[in-house]
Every structure is written in structure tokens, then in C-alpha cells.
């Protein structure tokens, strides 16, 4: 009897990170992939998946659905049973969450509830991965890197919505025994990122000779810092967690089933802008501003401890410098500048 192929469901896969996940799992597994996405403003329609040539790929099935609503019986029938769910779908722009917190939070809470309710019906589900963020832990003082299971302290409506998703997942794991893992990742870079994000924003401003605003402390002496990693590195880590680990969320152990996915080094945003300029061979004009005072909920530093995943045996295939250089050079190709909105 022929072995049944593994089936992976990816939500939010028309977005920047999701498209990299589709590309990674197509290249590194023989799994069938189900894509669920509502095609919000951040997706550019089908462009990202079209750009990686998946529409001739018979292993991928696409369903345009709004996960604010429960999956219809017809969609569930067409999808059938799945082995793994990776929930990437969420609104993620902090400024948007501050401008319209109610609808933003409702969207993110409703979609995870609807995914979990569907997961309860699946008889063959091996693992459900909820993708979350370092921002759930809140600002990190100098020298502090939060570990899996540390308390959450969200500082804005976006991070509160993600912390809410995580708490709901914990409740469903404890109450309904769903095999759920949560990943908290840090700032993500890569090709085809929305031009509102820092890396493409820097590239565009450097090309145009414009000033890059750098968020700093009140004294304008220190810029914010982040740990950056490529979306494909995160996809690789998620594959490792799916295939090589057997943990799940547990009420008796706050760290069980949780994984921090962390870039290998911390870099100041001022230094990052200058580094992008160096890769481009152009000057990065920068201006430090006290953004925290004008925008409540902005944190200068987030930091996670990535030792748990490393101890489990995972190593990132590409380091930060290689990832950044690859991303910048790809974006500067004439055929790819459209991703900058130019």
C-alpha cells in the first residue's frame, strides 16, 4: 500500500513571510501544501507566489478565505485531513494597531480561534504551530534576553493581539489536548518584503538620496536595536520543530512547546542603515529621532534567548551578513525594484 503524503497547511502564505515558507517547503520536502489567505493589502495579490512560480506546481492548493470567519464545510471538505498547520496569518503592522486597535485585535483573535476550532475536527493532525513575536515579551533591558516561558508584557495593541493568540493556543492545548507549539521570532528580512518595513524602506531612501529616520532614546545618543534573521531561516527552523521535536504546550511546564527563533547577533538600526548603504555603495543619510515619546508602544530593544533551539540541534543555514547582502542585491535588480514601489 502506498504511503500517504504529508500535508501541510500554511495560513497567510500570500504574505512576505508566508511566501518564503511556501518556497522553502517546496524545495526541501515532498509535502503537499494547502494555502489559506484573504489577500489583504500587504499581499500584493498573488504576486509573491507568482514570483516564485508555484502556479504550475501540483503540490500546492490555494484557498482565498477570510479567517475572521469559520472555514466553510465545502472548504474543509476540499482540504481534507492535514498533518501539520503553521498559522502565519495575522495583521502585523504596529502603527495600524495603534490607529485602529479594536478591529486589529478582533481580527487576530478571531482568526486563531477559527483555526483552532477547525484543528479540533482534524483526526490526523500531528502538530499546530502558532507563529508569534518577540514583542509579546515587551521591551528588553540591556543584558536581558527572554527565555521560553518568561512572562509576557506586550507594549502595544499588535503585541497584545499576538499574546492573546498565544494564550488562546495554550488554553486549547490544555483543554482539548491539541498538539500545539508556539514560536516567537524576531525581526524578519528577505526578498519581496512590503516597502513599509525597515530594510526595503532604507534601500528606497538610499536610492533616492532621502533621509532615513532612526528611532532613538530621548537624548538621541542611542538608536534602537534588533536581532534580524531571514524568513527562510525561520522556515528552516519551523521544519526542524515539526520533524525533529516532540514537545507540545503544557500547563505543568511554561517552556514546553515554546521555541524562540533568534538572529545570531544584535545590531543597532543606525548601524544597519549604514551597512545597507555600504552594500549599495551609496551614503545612507540618517536622522535620529525620539520616536518613543511621539508613539507610545514603541520599544527600543527586544531580545530573546535562542539557546533552547540550538541545544535541540538546530543551526541556521545562512548568517545575518549573508542574508542581508543577498536581500539587498536581489532587491536592487531592475526586475525586482517593483517590490520597493518604484
* DSSP-derived secondary structure for 216-278: B-TTSSSB-EEEEEEHHHHHHHHHHHHHH-----BTTBTTTTEEEE--SSEEEHHHHHHHHHH
CA dist 300 and 288 (Å) reads 12
Structure letter (DSSP) for residue 328: H
Question: Does residue 35 contact residue 22 with C-beta atoms inside 8 Å?
Answer: yes
Q: How far are the Cα atoms of 172, 188, 190, 333 from residue 324, in angstroms, in the given order? A: 38, 10, 8, 15
User: Helix 198-208 crosses helix 269-280 at what angle (to 10 degrees)?
Assistant: 50
Question: Does residue 246 contact residue 238 with C-beta atoms inside 8 Å?
Answer: no
C-alpha cell at 178: 491539541
Q: Cell 500545539 identifies what position?
A: 180
Question: Does residue 188 contact residue 229 with C-beta atoms inside 8 Å?
Answer: yes
* Residues pairing with 287 in the sheet: 213
Query: Of the listed 84, 146, 158, 316, which one is catalytic?
Result: 158
158 an active-site residue?
yes
Question: Does residue 34 contact residue 12 with C-beta atoms inside 8 Å?
Answer: no
CA dist 239 and 220 (Å) reads 41
Strand pairing category for 258-261 and 180-185: parallel
Please identify every residue annotated as catalytic: 158
Amino acid at each position: 500500500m502506498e504511503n500517504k503524503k504529508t500535508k501541510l497547511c500554511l495560513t497567510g502564505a500570500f504574505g512576505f513571510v508566508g511566501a518564503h515558507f511556501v518556497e522553502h517547503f517546496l524545495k526541501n520536502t515532498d509535502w503537499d501544501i494547502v494555502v489559506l489567505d484573504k489577500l489583504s493589502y500587504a499581499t500584493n495579490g498573488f504576486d509573491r507566489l507568482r514570483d516564485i512560480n508555484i502556479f504550475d506546481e501540483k503540490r500546492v492548493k490555494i484557498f482565498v478565505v477570510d479567517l475572521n470567519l469559520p472555514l466553510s464545510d465545502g472548504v474543509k471538505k476540499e482540504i481534507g485531513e492535514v498533518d501539520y498547520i503553521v498559522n502565519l496569518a495575522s495583521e502585523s503592522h504596529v502603527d495600524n494597531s495603534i490607529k485602529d486597535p479594536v478591529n486589529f485585535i478582533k481580527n487576530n483573535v478571531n482568526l486563531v480561534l477559527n483555526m483552532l476550532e477547525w484543528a479540533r475536527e482534524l483526526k490526523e493532525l500531528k502538530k499546530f504551530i502558532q507563529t508569534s513575536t518577540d514583542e509579546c515579551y515587551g521591551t528588553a533591558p540591556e543584558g536581558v534576553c527572554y527565555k521560553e516561558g518568561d512572562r509576557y508584557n506586550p507594549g502595544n495593541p499588535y503585541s497584545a493581539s499576538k499574546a492573546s493568540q498565544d494564550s488562546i493556543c495554550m488554553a486549547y492545548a490544555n483543554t482539548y489536548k491539541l498538539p500545539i507549539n508556539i514560536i516567537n521570532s524576531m525581526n524578519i528580512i528577505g526578498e519581496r518584503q512590503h516597502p513599509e518595513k525597515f530594510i526595503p524602506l532604507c534601500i528606497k531612501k538610499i536610492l533616492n538620496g532621502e533621509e532615513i529616520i532612526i528611532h532613538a532614546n530621548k537624548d538621541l545618543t542611542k538608536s534602537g536595536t534588533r536581532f534580524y534573521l531571514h524568513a527562510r531561516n525561520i522556515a528552516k527552523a519551523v521544519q526542524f520543530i515539526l520533524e525533529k521535536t516532540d514537545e507540545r504546550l503544557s500547563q505543568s511546564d511554561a517552556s514546553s512547546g515554546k521555541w524562540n527563533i533568534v538572529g545570531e547577533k544584535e545590531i543597532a538600526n543606525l548601524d544597519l542603515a549604514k551597512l545597507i548603504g555600504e552594500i549599495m555603495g551609496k551614503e545612507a543619510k540618517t536622522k535620529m529621532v525620539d520616536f518613543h515619546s511621539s508613539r507610545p508602544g514603541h520599544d527600543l530593544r527586544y531580545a530573546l534567548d535562542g539557546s533552547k533551539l540550538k541545544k535541540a540541534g538546530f543551526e541556521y543555514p545562512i548568517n545575518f551578513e549573508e542574508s542581508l547582502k543577498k536581500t539587498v542585491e536581489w532587491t536592487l535588480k531592475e526586475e525586482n525594484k517593483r517590490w520597493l514601489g518604484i
